[in-house]
Copies of this chain bind each other. A is one copy, B any other.
Amino acid sequence: MARVEQVNQKRRGRRAAGEDTRAALVAAAREVFVEKGYDGATVRAIAAKAGVDAAMVNHWFGGKEGLFAQSVLQLPFDPAEVLKRLLDGPLEQAGERIIRTFVTVWDATGGGTFAALIRSVTSQPEVAGALKQFLVNAIFRNVLAQIGVEQRELRATLCATQMVGLGIVRYVVRFEPLASADVETVVKAIAPNLQRYLTGELG
């Protein structure tokens, strides 16, 4: 009896070799995220468009967040993992950890990836909107919850100014001597400023 009912349903188990589920998800995600924004896009809708099961998003990308990072942003790392590392340690050294991680991660890609990201964000308003939702709901929310200070939203945007500016100057326009400075020089120079945005006095 059970066998008969399966006739018109999808086959279970592994798909045939050559069907690239991962690539199909990335392609579908790019379209849906850009069209609906990060919040408006649902994992189920993306999976349906890709013709695969929604569980595949978790399997391949660790969740909606990871899929967004690798499809629209094309980040060369997993933001959830990086975030975990950043939040692990004393708050007074968070600025230092963030800058060191940021520079290390993007340096490893040669910087061209960051430039591409900025280009797509500045040229496509929809991507900028999706990125904003992503940052607010998937990143800032987690970070800010661990910071027991006032004006958390303002602090988050201030941190964003410093990180984005650092990325542009070091990777896109490549102003010297910052573009070629070693990681520790950058950390020493910038981390205290980021730390002030995180936990310092803003008034």
Residues of A participating in the B interface, judged by any CB pair closer than 8 Å: 115, 118-119, 121-123, 128, 131-132, 135, 153-154, 156-158, 160-166, 168-170, 172-179, 181, 185, 188-190, 192-193, 196-197, 202-203
Chain A interface secondary structure, helix, strand, loop or mixed? Answer: helix
Protomer copies: 2
Beyond A178-B157, A193-B193, A202-B189, whether A173 also contacts B119 by CB under 8 A is: no
On chain B, the residues within 8 Å of A181 by CB distance are: 154
Are B158's CB and A190's CB within 8 A? Answer: yes
User: When the two chains form their complex, are residues A128 and B169 in contact, meaning their CB atoms are under 8 A apart?
Assistant: no
> Which residues from B are CB-within-8-Å of A128?
172-173
Supply 8 further A-B pairs (C-beta < 8 A) apart from A157-B179, A160-B165, A161-B165.
Answer: A128-B173, A135-B175, A154-B185, A156-B175, A162-B162, A164-B164, A189-B197, A193-B196
B165/A168 in contact, CB under 8 A: yes
Q: How far is the CB of A74 from chain B (nearest CB, A)?
A: 16
With both beta carbons as reference points, the residue of chain B lying nearest to A185 in the complex is identified as B154
